Copies of this chain bind each other. A is one copy, B any other.
Amino acid sequence: MKKGVLFVAFGTSVPQADKALRGLEATFEKSHPGLDVRWAFTSNIIRHKLAKQGRELDSVTTALSKMLDDGYTHVAVQSLHTIPGEEFHQKVLSVVSRFSGGPGGFRQVTVGSPMMATDADMQAVTAAVQSSIPAERKADEAVVLMGHGTHHSGNIFYPGLQWYVAQKDPNIFVGTVEGTPSLDTIVAELKDRGIKTAWLMPLMSVAGDHAQNDMAGDEDDSWKSVFKANGITPKCVLKGTAEYPEFAAIWLGHAEDAFGRLAQ
C-alpha cells in the first residue's frame, strides 16, 4: 500500500496565483509528514503556455498514470475548482473513474469535491465570504463576488450561493462572467436599491486573467467600468480565494476527508 494525494486546479500562469496554490500544498503536507502532494492542471491552454516557459504540468490523466507507474495504490484526488462544473465532471471525475479498480488500476481512488458542493460547504463559503470582506466596507455598500459562470448545469451554484449569502447580508451579490447571474442583473439590482459603492472580489481560486481584466480592467466592458458608468463607485480586491485561509480551509477540509476515506 502506497498512499498519495493529487491536487487538481484549473491552473494559472500568474506567479502570485501559483504561490497561492502552493500554499495549499504546503499546508496539507505539513499535517501529513512524508506525503508528497502531486499536481495536475485541467486547463490545456495553461499547460501549453507553461510548457513553452519550460514548466511541465500534467493533465489529470498523465498525473495519475505516473502515480500508477510509481507504485501508488491508494490516491486521494482533490479538486481545487470552485464549483462542480465541466472541468470537475469531465476532467476530474471522468478521468478518475478510468483509473479505479480492476487489473492495472489503483486499488482505491477517492475524490474531494470542489469548494462548493454540500449545504455545509455553502455555509462555510458564506462565512468565508463574510470574513474576507475588507474591514473598511460599510454595511450599505455592496460586495459583488465575480464567479466564472458556465453553460454547465453546475452554474446553479452561483444563484444558489446568492441565496445563502443574502441570508446573512442582503448587500452581498454573486455574479458571473459567463453564466447566471449576469453583471446586468446585479447592476440593475444595485441601482434599484440606491447602492453607491460596490466592492468587487473574484470568486475564483486565483486572481488571474479574469480578475485583472474582466473585473478590474480599464476596458469599457470591465465590471469596474460598467459600475462606474452606472454611477456606482467600484473598489476592486485583487486576491483569489486560495489566498484567504478561510476559503483554503474548505478545500483542505475536502482533501482531508478524501484522504481519510482511503482504506487504513
Residues on A lying within 8 angstroms of B by beta carbon are 44, 47, 59, 61-62, 64-66, 68-69, 84, 89-91, 94-95, 97-105, 113, 116-119, 121-122, 151, 153, 155-157, 159-160, 162-164, 167, 179-181, 185
Contacts and interface: CB of A to CB of B under 8 A. Distances in A.
B151 A156 contact: no
29 contacts: A61-B65, A61-B68, A61-B69, A61-B104, A62-B65, A62-B66, A65-B65, A90-B104, A91-B104, A94-B102, A94-B103, A94-B105, A98-B98, A98-B104, A100-B102, A101-B101, A117-B153, A118-B153, A119-B151, A119-B180, A122-B159, A156-B157, A156-B160, A157-B160, A159-B159, A159-B162, A159-B164, A160-B160, A163-B163
Contacts of A65: 59, 61-62, 64-65
A258 to B, nearest CB: 14
A140 B101 CA distance: 53
A121 B117 CA distance: 20
Given A90-B103, A159-B160, A160-B160, A153 B59 contact: no
B151 A159 contact: no
Contacts of A121: 153
A84 B65 CA distance: 23
Nearest to A48: B69
A104 B95 contact: yes
B89 A103 contact: yes
Contacts of A44: 69
Given A65-B65, A159-B159, 19 more contacts: A61-B69, A62-B62, A90-B103, A90-B104, A91-B104, A98-B105, A100-B101, A100-B102, A113-B153, A117-B153, A118-B151, A119-B151, A119-B180, A122-B156, A156-B156, A157-B160, A159-B162, A160-B160, A160-B163
